[in-house]
Amino acid sequence: MSELDTDLPLFIKRRMFAFRRYVKENLFPDGVNTTKFLPKEEYRIKITQMESIISECSFACFVFSLKELFQEGTIAARDAVTTFESLNISAFSIGNKIFERENENVLAGEHLYSQMLDSISDQNLKQIIEKAKNYHEIIGKYREFSF
């Protein structure tokens, strides 16, 4: 996450930190205690591995949360259009955005999610995010990589 830290707005940094803490507590509830009796070099390697697993899992949870947000936004926009159509109103606007049957504003969440997913080059990470139904499933996948 350190590459992103400097460029992210504070509210996103806070969200990422919360995911990181949640993931760390769930993957490694005993923290570094599980590795404290290892030789010094082996200890450093294990800590680096733990940090790597925590970082990737936290990122996966964060992207999953955005996926849910974008999907819920699209559902809400579709529902609003359907409601207005039932009142014989074919479109409505919020600010300068016009919402009508399946236009780009209604589908904006789906498009954002698709673009976000396309920007992830790690196919395993993509698959974990796409198949997950909740955070526990994501953490469960990464628990398989932990020691």
Q: What are the residue ranges in the chain where pLDDT is below 50?
A: 1-2
CB within 8 A of 135, min separation 6: which ones?
Answer: 22, 61, 64
pTM: 0.81
pLDDT of residue 36: 64
pLDDT of residue 38: 73
pLDDT of residue 1: 47
DSSP string, 113-132: HHHHHHT---HHHHHHHHH-
pLDDT of residue 147: 57
Please write the tens of the pLDDT for every residue from 66-99. Answer: 999 999 999 999 999 999 999 999 999 999 999 9
